[in-house]
Structure 1
């Protein structure tokens, strides 16, 4: 970058050196010329000093940019000025062998009460491979007004089934999972519902698919108030009952307790269900409750428990139960219940297993093809031989029974390889 400057300095010094003997020789007969030559050398030295100063300043500026503007944090994130930029996610390859096929021709990687109704025993077994659960996320953290402004965006590839195929490219579209910002006690954007506790999920490859799980991501405004040993959370969240009729946000409150003894959380949900379709015009307030716990047991083992009750609708089990029934101009919320237990045992530091059972049931009187009961069972073996690497094999069982007596079941063996970054 500075070679032209150096070359100019070098040529000037060489030229001066060549001219110096001639000047000295001339000085024997012309003293005035010696004084002129000395003046020229002083001027030249001033130019050299100035160029060196400019070069040193430029090098210091480059060093400042390198050291203070773009650096790496101890965790490996990028520090750009005052903003920390983190990039994460994982690549996950999955293979599934199911005992039954699906009448819609899909492998139904994510099993729900809805997809179970497409199971057709006459179609025989189905094998499928996929990498769609792979994720990519970007987060930032910037000091702002005495606190930290954080943002987070994440996507996977479960979007737009109708636009993809498995014939040639398997070109599945990205899907928004999270997009939110937080500052201080406030959070705004799309992320896990405040009615959901991640501690209730457990380490199962059928992520978010056990029957009683509270599993919802949606846009919201949340306030969190910490206290010693936990925090309180209040949120207004996107309302939805399948008919897009709700005019009042879903209201959620949660209290979390944490300590060396483990974690316990209690949440309450209030919803205003509405119908206004030109024929029926009615509304009704409904409520639901959830309790979760994560309790250490022996060594690294832990037990995770969850119990839910009330107008759970789309919040529980990937919408196993409807939010409401509409008839004769009235809307009535549908109540259900769910419970689960997940025990994780460490065989070694790298090898562990989880055993999970979950069951749900209908509280109100239903009819026809409404879900009457839904239960799931999983057992797995997870191996993490290196950092950021996990291999797993899991047996999965799904059972669904409708009010009219129809029943659907599915057995699967699921194998996965996950590489995080």
Structure 2
């Protein structure tokens, strides 16, 4: 096995000499005009670029050394090398790797350009100052292992650009805030946020869009504008990671913000227990055998991704609204997930069991804390209010088994593609005619997603969709999963959710995006004794929806919610102190209902969002 270590060793002194020549004395920098200041800034930018390239080669060198050590160990034990090791040796001795070392030497002697600093979108690396300890391979991998995975199987999508809102939404970790406690690497993440929304309807949910509460003309808040701002979505995260050996790691990740109230705590979507627990999980990763385990609260396996099946690389909208986008498929919930990768990080297979929480629609029924009287005189029990340390005003559904989710992800040379499926088991108990019995329905569906790098790392198209029955809770609109039939058994409702978007990284400081999202529900109903029961019943009343302060009923079962939105982010300050950015977003949402007595009323809402963020670790 041949390693280009001699080339790298020869290039390092040249690199250090170049850096020392490029750094101007402080006395010389003082007292000169704009031309000198511009030249100094250009030289500093060149130093930063060379440092980034040096670290890239440092990682390659350490990876080669690791593979060589494994090869020697196997040779010592008398075992032949595996196919993966042979491939790794071939990569290490390839002309591309050797040319990388030579390129560093050439770059070191290149005059400083007069353009702005180079920006690496695919997988950025930290830039240390001159005189700091050189990071080890272990520290770099502990910092951002998914960068290395994607680098080995580049799909031209790459990991999230770390400072983008998409990366922040998934708990991506930054460049700074990395330190060591013995053999454990600790990485800080998060940001300080202050956001606001101006809307033409008063929906008292702040920057979290709760579309189901959009008012109709009968409500006074339909006729009122509303402004609300808050810093409650400031976010903080911490990851502790340790290397068991050269290819196996164990880690823990926790993320929190202040985006919940005690009485709104529920298990249906974000599991936002106060202070809001966004994510908290531990993981075990063996990159040699391709095995990955995760257990705890994390983004559901149904959530679209952008690189393999890797935690913190979910493909989420860049939007400011904390509910993201109508039609977005996601939850954050407890799960036990196993992922196996094949074909050198290009094919990924995942299986997860996840916490169930069924959303029941009981339109037309009386619902007394999960106890529902039936037209035939029986009673269906669909859940119970929380007790002990759970929220006592929240009704927790009765569940018999976890949701089971499977996913396959493919990363060819261009794009990222996924297909997934889910099986669920809504469950209740009915007591009628002196006897009781349990009922279990089978629900589920399937879908897929794709990220298409039209211009790699510059312009992306995002597509995702999921359809089935009893899956409403997995969409941002939170439409119901099931209703009840005349016998009180769970009746899964059809549901479809989809998003499409385009994201442009105009330059290293500006991102622009546009999205369309939709979630749509079917209906199931019956009538008994002159009364209408179930979701979307045409015999229910919508007569009072369109007249302000009308005394008539407005049942208005939601048929669909659509959202169109555009926005942009501008990182106007960026340096070793972190990143400061500002964003704005325009959104239009429209809600349509199932036709009933009085028609099929609809409503809409227009919003302008503003946001300022300081990311000290990115």
Which residue does the alignment assign to 1:262? Answer: 415
Gap change, CA 1:161 and 1:100, over 3 Å in 2:
farther
Q: Which residue of structure 2 aligns with residue 144 of structure 1? A: 244
1:159 counterpart (239, 243, 260) = 260
CA RMSD for the aligned pairs? Answer: 2.4
- CA drift at 1:186: 1.2
Question: Could you tell me which residue of structure 2 aligns to residue 377 of structure 1?
Answer: 564
Q: Which residue of 1 aligns with 2:225?
A: 125
C-alpha distance in structure 1 between counterparts of 2:403 and 2:448, whole Å: 18
Q: 2:353 corresponds to which residue?
A: 236
TM alignment of 1:60-139, pairs within 5 A: 76=176, 77-102=178-203, 106-117=204-215, 120-139=220-239
1:399 aligns with 2:590: yes
Out of 205-214 and 268-277, give the one that drifted further.
205-214
Normalised by the length of structure 2, the TM-score is 0.52
Q: Which SS does the other structure have where 2:401 is aligned?
A: coil
* Partner Cα separation in structure 1 for residue 338 and residue 231 of structure 2: 36
1:187 maps to 2:187: no
> 2:195–2:207: 8 Å Cα contact kept in structure 1?
no
Verify the 8 A CA contact 1:377 1:396 in the aligned structure 2: yes
Give the secondary structure class of the aligned counterpart of 2:233: coil
For 2:212 and 2:222, how far apart are their aligned partners in 1?
A: 19
Structure 2 residue corresponding to 1:197, chosen from 300, 304, 307 = 304
Q: In 2, distance between residues paired with 1:92 and 1:221?
A: 31
**In 2, Cα distance between equivalents of 1:227 and 1:355:** 34
Change (3 A) 1:129 1:139: same
SS of the aligned residue for 1:114 comes to helix
- Alpha-carbon distance in structure 1 between the residues aligned to 2:333 and 2:356: 9
- Secondary structure of the residue aligned to 2:507 is coil
Contact between 1:215 and 1:315, CA under 8 Å: does it hold in 2? yes
Q: Does 1:295 align with 2:490?
A: no
TM-superposed CA distance for 1:389, in Å, is 2.6
Identify which of 349, 356, 367 aligns with 2:508: 349
1:107, 1:127 within 8 Å by CA — same for their partners in 2?
Answer: no
- Post-superposition CA distance 1:54-113 (Å, at most 9, x none): xxxxxxxxxxxxx9xxxx9565411111100111101111121111113xxx24321123
Q: Deviations over 1:176-197 (max 9, x none)?
A: 0011001132111000111112
1:282 equivalenced with 2:389 (yes/no): no
CA distance in structure 2 between the partners assigned to 1:129 and 1:238 by the alignment: 33
Separation (CA, whole Å) in 2 of partners of 1:196 and 1:343? 18
Q: Distance in 2 between matches of 1:275 and 1:410?
A: 36
Q: Which moved more, 1:322-331 or 1:139-148?
A: 139-148
Task: Note if contact 2:462-2:501 (Cα within 8 Å) is conserved in structure 1.
Answer: yes
d(CA) in 1 for partners of 2:205, 2:357: 28
- 8 A contact 2:201–2:215 mirrored in 1: no
* Structure 1 residues 378-400: Cα deviation after superposition (integer angstroms, max 9, x where no partner): 11121122332321111011111
Flag the 1:267–1:122 CA change in 2: closer, same or farther, 3 A. Answer: closer
Give the secondary-structure state (helix, strand or coil) at the position aligned to 2:441.
Answer: strand
Measure how far apart 1:335 and its partner are.
1.1
How far apart in 2 are the matches of 1:292 and 1:263? 8
Once residues 227 and 313 of structure 1 are traced to their aligned partners in structure 2, the CA distance between those partners, rounded to angstroms, is: 32
Q: Which ranges in structure 1 are unaligned for 5 or more consecutive residues?
A: 1-66, 164-171
- Secondary structure of 1:205's partner? coil
Contact 1:181–1:189 (Cα < 8 Å) also in 2: yes
Pair 1:225-2:340 in alignment: yes
Three-state SS of the structure 1 residue aligned to 2:212 is helix
Call closer, same or farther: CA 1:122–1:217 in 2, change over 3 Å: closer
Q: Aligned to 1:138, what secondary structure does the other structure show?
A: strand
How far apart are 1:201 and its partner, in Å?
2.4
Match of 1:209 in 2: 324
TM-score w.r.t. the length of structure 1 is 0.75
| Other structure's SS at 2:591 match | strand
Number of aligned residue pairs: give it.
339
Deviation at 1:237, TM superposition (A): 0.7
Q: Distance in 2 between matches of 1:205 and 1:122?
A: 23
CA distance, structure 2, for counterparts of residue 180 and residue 352 of structure 1: 30
Aligned residue for 1:372, secondary structure, equals strand
Match for 1:177 among 278, 298, 302?
A: 278
Matched residues in 1 for 2:207 and 2:282: separation?
31
Larger radius of gyration: 1
**Distance in 2, Cα, partners of 1:98 & 1:113:** 13
Q: Distance in 2 between matches of 1:162 and 1:123?
A: 27
For 1:173 and 1:239, locate their aligned partners in 2 and report how far apart those are by CA, in whole Å.
Answer: 20
After superposition, where does 1:29-48 map in structure 2 within 5 Å? none
User: Any conservation in 2 of the 1:108–1:115 contact (CA below 8 Å)?
Assistant: no
2:607 matches 1:415:
no
| Aligned partners of 2:209 and 2:322 also within 8 Å | no
